[in-house]
Amino acid sequence: MFAIVGALEGLLRKADRTSPDDRQRVLGEVLGSARTLQNEMTRLLTWATSSQDDIEYRPANVDLEKMLAEDVALLRRLSWPRCGKDH
pTM of the model: 0.51
pLDDT at 57: 77
**Residue 2 to residue 16: CA distance in whole angstroms:** 23
User: 68 to each of 50, 73, 78, how far by Cα in Å?
Assistant: 36, 8, 15
pLDDT tens profile 6-27: 888 888 888 888 888 988 888 8
pLDDT at 72: 92
**Residue 33 to residue 7: CA distance in whole angstroms:** 10
Q: Other CB atoms closer than 10 Å to residue 34's CB: what's the count?
A: 14
* Average pLDDT of the chain to the nearest whole number: 84
Q: What are phi and psi for residue 14, nearest 5 degrees?
A: -110, 25
